[in-house]
């Protein structure tokens, strides 16, 4: 038997996504920080936005745990690629 879930506030999630996008733009174009720190911060914001989209707009928040794992497994792979790219820029 399935239980009904509370409908999320999609407008509020959209506002969060717009604020995160504005933060990414400000970080990318305005802040004078090193490239590696900028890359790490931008990746953090991108993962945060992807989690919001996945959890609320793709309704993963209301799914069983095994289906959530299909979306979570690629995250460590993305982190490996991030650190590989950061190590390339050092050398």
Percentage of residues in the chain having pLDDT higher than 90? 19
Write the pLDDT tens digit of every residue in 29-70.
887 888 888 888 988 899 889 888 887 777 766 667 777 777
> What ranges do the domains of the chain cover?
34-91
The pLDDT value recorded for residue 3 is 67
CB atoms within 10 A of CB 39: 15
**Of 15-19, 23-27, 29-33, the least confident:** 29-33
Q: Rounded CA gap, 16 and 57, in Å?
A: 13
The pLDDT value recorded for residue 1 is 46
- Say how far residue 18 (Cα) sits from the centre of its chain: 13
Q: Rounded CA gap, 91 and 85, in Å?
A: 10
CB atoms within 10 A of CB 56: 19
């Amino acid at each position: 038997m399935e239980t009904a879930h509370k409908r999320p506030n999609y407008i509020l999630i959209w506002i969060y996504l717009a604020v995160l996008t504005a933060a990414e733009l400000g970080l990318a174009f305005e802040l004078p920080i090193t490239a590696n720190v900028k890359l790490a911060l931008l990746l953090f914001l991108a993962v945060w936005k992807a989690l919001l989209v996945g959890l609320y707009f793709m309704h993963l928040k209301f799914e069983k745990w095994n289906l959530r794992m299909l979306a979570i497994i690629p995250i460590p792979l993305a982190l490996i690629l991030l650190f590989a790219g950061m190590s390339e820029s050092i050398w």
